[in-house]
Amino acid sequence: MRLLIWLGLSVALVRATPFKGCQHKVKESVAAPPRGWVKHAPAPKDHLIDLRIGLPRPNFPALEQHLWEVSDPSHERYGAHLSKAETDALMEPHQESIDIVNEWLASHGLEEEHLSRSSANDWVTIQVPVGLAEEMLDTTYHVWYHPESDESIVRTTSYSLPEVLHEHIDLVQPTIMFSRFKALKSTLHYYGKEDVTLTSPSGGTITGPAGNQVDASCNNTITISCLRQLYNAVGYNSSATNGNKLGLTGYLEQYANIADLQMFFSLQNPAAYGSNFTLVDIHGGTNNQTPAAAGVEANLDTQFGFGLTYPTPGTFYSTGGEPPFIPDDLEPTDSNEPYTYWLDYILAQDDGNIPQAISTSYGDDEQTVPQSYAERVCADFATLGARGVSVMFSSGDGGVGDGDADPATQECYSNDGTNRTIFIPGFPASCPYVTAVGGTVNIPETAVYFSGGGFSNYFSRPSYQDSAVESFLTKLAPGTYEGLYNPYGRAYPDVSAQAYNFLIVYEGNTTYVAGTSCSSPTFTSFVSLLNDARISAGKTTLGFLNPFLYSSGYTALNDITEGNNPGCGTEGFNATIGWDAVTGLGTPNFEKLKALVLSL
């Protein structure tokens, strides 16, 4: 059937077209796939892939300027977030680009009914057989295999476009992107299923960073009560009706089990027992309730995120996208990074339908995502920020590396063909338009050893963090890690929160988990509570947080000054006074933050 589709589409090639005889020119290429990928076999011609075509956004600098202004507490436009119509207009390509790309697609038999367009018309997605994609892109696709993870994808190392299209198309994917979108494997440490009994709070107390008393049991087991005590939010009650919402994302067939959620509520927040979240399925996503289908990641996110913020309404986005297929199984489709489908969906939503704070606990090594693609996706996150949404990402669990260092030397290497020894930043945490959340442990808090942090090789350092990062860099001994990181790159994480010994319910049992997958929904929950306070006071939501955090918000954070994040055969960076590349600006003090955001 697929072969017939391809042959039917190919008939269109005989029509007269200005692209006939037009010379193809290489648009993008990579010297080699990242370490660990091996070429398995030519991709079957009838295997279906989702080609995602990015059209230029000539007015993005104007949108970015709006973002800086509405996110800067010192600017007169602070909080004056843009509408969907306004951001769509700023992200829309020139009509000339839309027209010529339409003409090119039509020359290959792909008419409007075959296309899916983003809300701003800046992305076009088409599902085509590999054979047709190879004709369109003058390339050859192969199945690439990653033995260590047993994953396989369909990719190429170079693709071309007719020269006339180069100024009208930024990129086409999946082509040269070999990223491995990860959750449990990199941003969540799972200790295994075990029955855990909640420790009685009668075992004494510890003085927390806010000067208040925290149950001593919180040094061994993190619960909702512990986080509220530690981060000074005991007694704050959010509204169920003021319009505030919290959003959590799920990918890679991570399902949030409702029975586990109710058991968790009964143990840690009885008032929430019987409540539920709104499920939104995207791109074929589901939320399988078979007990064995429960996902540790999804359970962690929903239990702590919605448990901390109850009764604030919560939304869980389950985005589909088959996991990489087995080379000999040709049925599943091979797609792009799943968060791009989520972005298409969320950016198409009307004003008021998007949660004002959203957490994602997934990511890639930055170098496995082509820079052109990373920049495009990052700009989409900027659009969300301009619309008043706070977007948080886990900073990763590989310290300054990727958790995939050379077994013999423990060093990490570049994949640009030079095989240089370097630190490996993570993406989307490295995007300057999101808030990256690192991890801490214990009371008093120290940096947890796996907290992802460092400096982007793609994105330059944004001005909002110049002072903080320069101060950190001056504290490094001369020559420290010279050549291993980019001191001029966007630095992350921005903030942090507890990331170890979180007690969740999984498959009907209590168990411990750890990772920056814990810290991102935790920090996001406190941001949601801050939004609740502002909305109830008649103010706008916080939106993109970083300009606020680096200008004044840091004064209401708990500075973490101990610990480091080893990786790539080094001890990594050290936590220190002020911002650092392990814990960022620190962990939240809710009462201080609330007073500060209500004064803006």
**Peptide bond preceding 493: is omega within 30 degrees of 0, i.e. cis?**
yes
Strand locations in 15-122, DSSP E? 24-29, 38-42, 48-54, 115-117
User: Residue 126 annotated as binding?
Assistant: no
Per-position b or e across 226-249, b if 16+ CB within 10 A of its CB: bbbbbbbbeeeebeeeeebbbbbb
Q: Catalytic amino acids?
A: 297, 301, 517
C-alpha to C-alpha distance for 304 and 525, rounded to whole angstroms: 8
* Helix 371-386, helix 84-91: angle, nearest 10: 150
Q: How far apart are the first and last CA of the chain?
A: 60
Look at residues 261, 149, 286, 307 and name the one whose alpha carbon lies nearest to residue 505. Answer: 261
Task: At 26, list the tokens.
Answer: 């290489």
User: Residue 578 annotated as binding?
Assistant: yes
C-alpha R_g of the chain:
24
CA distances from 397 to 289, 419, 426, 513 (A): 28, 23, 10, 13
Alpha helices in 200-295 (DSSP H): 224-230, 258-268
Tally Cβ neighbours within 10 Å of residue 200: 8
Give 294-345 as a DSSP string: B-HHHHHHHHHHHHHHTTS-EEEEEE--PPPPPTT---S-B-S-HHHHHHHH
User: Residue 560 annotated as binding?
Assistant: yes
Can you say which residues are annotated as belonging to the binding site for Ca(2+)? 559-560, 578, 580
